[in-house]
Amino acid sequence: MKILILSFYYAPDLSACSFRNTALVKSLSRKLGGHDYIEVITTMPNRYKSFRNPTTLNFEETGNTVIHRVAMSNLNINFLNQALAFFNYCIGVKKLINKQHYDLVFVSSGRFFSAFLGAIIAKKTKTPYYLDIRDILSDGVSEVVNNRIFKFFLIPFIKYLEKYSVLSATHLNLVSEGFKESFNFYEGKTTFFTNGIDDTFLENDFQKEPEKITQPIKIITYAGNIGEGQGLEKIIPDAAKKLKGKYIFNIIGDGSTKRRLKKKLADLGIDNVNLLDPIDRDKLIKYYQKSDFLFLHLNNFEAFKKVLPSKIFEYGATKKPILAGVNGYARKFIKKHLADVLIFEPGNVESFITVLEKYEPQIITRTAFVDKFNRQVILDKMSDTILDLIPLNNSR
């Protein structure tokens, strides 16, 4: 049995897609037989220009898992360069799969065009196709692209590719139940295996040292992508200005709007916000441990009312107070599973400051949340549904 996995991002790259798919491959690997193996085709680390890992190998083989990494040029973050990068990835995939036979194709749409690529391969080879959807590209483009003529031609094209990809799938998984209505045309089996909590966050103690708890200036930390989806420039500068002398913000990450955020901070003369480049998880944990609050924010666009940020799971495992500026399905999910989270209106500085200043310290446990959303448990169940698609004569 041979499984092909396409994942534009994979370890050691820093992204939710990378963390999830790396863990999924390990789960699948443990369940395969002696003559079975997994072939992963991904890219060299490229999620952030400020985070590169020069020691990463183009080819790795560990046990029953083979990893091919397609070389990427120094990417810019505009749409055209992303499209060119994906085209480069497609060429690399085509070369690697030439004349190969697979029993199953799996794609996780960290880049949605990967879903279309997987559909083409599965159709051509008449192979079962498992599609894991992490985002809806057409929704995002409709919100963040301002050129009306560009949108007029681009969005119908993207929607066609999305529908073709989904209808080609033998099994569809949606990481957010907020996506359900967008794909109600799909009549095959659908599951909702969400993101989850990695062992890294379950094995560490995130409590602050006692002498630091009473420090007058508190630390609020955000770690992740800094793009249109997060809209940090709409809330961090003004909030930091009003909270000067009482709070320091650590913003860790990179993305398409980081330059915009940096400029606004400079224009307002803000000196209580630290802008830091992406860091690996070992270092990130230390920042979390030193923090008093963890911050999450989604731009108040219709498209982002469907998503379920992976950061919710990571933050939830720390037992730290969480400040979440979200609406839609993310808010619904938080209220159901994390009742102690401080929710405010996205982009609303006054709402943010109000919930922050009303907060009264409390003991946070979240045991039920941690047990329910343990990533290994979720992905072990998901890997079973993947293996169930493989014809019986090739099964474990």
How many whole angstroms separate alpha carbon 97 and alpha carbon 102?
9
How many whole angstroms separate alpha carbon 327 and alpha carbon 345?
7
Query: If you write DSSP's letter for every residue of 86-118 in order, what string do you get?
Result: HHHHHHHHHHHHTT---SEEEEE-SSTHHHHHH
pLDDT at residue 218 is higher than 70: yes
The closest alpha carbon to 368, from 324, 390, 337, 336, belongs to 337
Give me the chain's average pLDDT, please. Answer: 91
| pLDDT value of residue 109 | 83
pLDDT at residue 395 is higher than 80: no
End-to-end CA distance of the chain: 8
| pLDDT value of residue 75 | 55
The secondary structure of residue 302, as a DSSP letter, is G
| Distances from the Cα of 190 to the Cα of 177, 185, 193, 197, 375, angstroms | 10, 11, 10, 22, 19
Q: Which residue has the tokens 């095959």?
A: 188
Q: Cα 83 to chain center, whole Å?
A: 19
- Contact indicator for 134, 108 with CB cutoff of 8 Å: yes
362 — alpha (psi -120 to 50), left (phi > 0) or beta? beta
How many whole angstroms separate alpha carbon 218 and alpha carbon 290?
9
Neighbours of 149 (CB within 10 A): 7
- The pTM of the full predicted model, rounded to 2 decimals, is 0.92
Neighbours of 244 (CB within 10 A): 15
pLDDT at residue 116 is higher than 70: yes
| Distances from the Cα of 347 to the Cα of 83, 164, 251, 297, 351, angstroms | 30, 35, 16, 8, 9
- Helix (H) / strand (E) element for 194: namely none
Domains of the chain with CATH codes: 2-196+374-394 (3.40.50.2000), 199-372 (3.40.50.2000)
Rg (CA), the chain: 21
Of 130-139, 330-339, 386-395, the one with minimum mean pLDDT is 386-395
- Contact indicator for 16, 134 with CB cutoff of 8 Å: yes
**Residues 128-140: what's their mean pLDDT?**
93
Q: Which residue has the tokens 């391969």?
A: 121
More confident residue, 259 or 99: 259
Positive or negative torsion for Cα 130, 108, 201, 193: negative
Provide CB contacts within 8 A for 325, sequence distance 6+.
235, 296, 297, 298, 343, 344, 345, 346, 347, 348, 351, 352
The closest alpha carbon to 51, from 262, 255, 279, 223, belongs to 279
Q: What percent of the chain has pLDDT over 90?
A: 76
Q: Which residue has the tokens 């770690």?
A: 223
SS3 129: strand
Q: Which pLDDT band holds residue 393 (cuts at 50, 70, 90)?
A: very low
pLDDT at residue 318 is higher than 60: yes
Of 14-18, 159-163, 269-273, the one with minimum mean pLDDT is 14-18
How many whole angstroms separate alpha carbon 46 and alpha carbon 14?
9
Burial (0-12, 13-18, 19+ Cβ within 10 Å), 72: middle
How many whole angstroms separate alpha carbon 184 and alpha carbon 320?
37
Q: What percent of the chain has pLDDT over 70?
A: 94
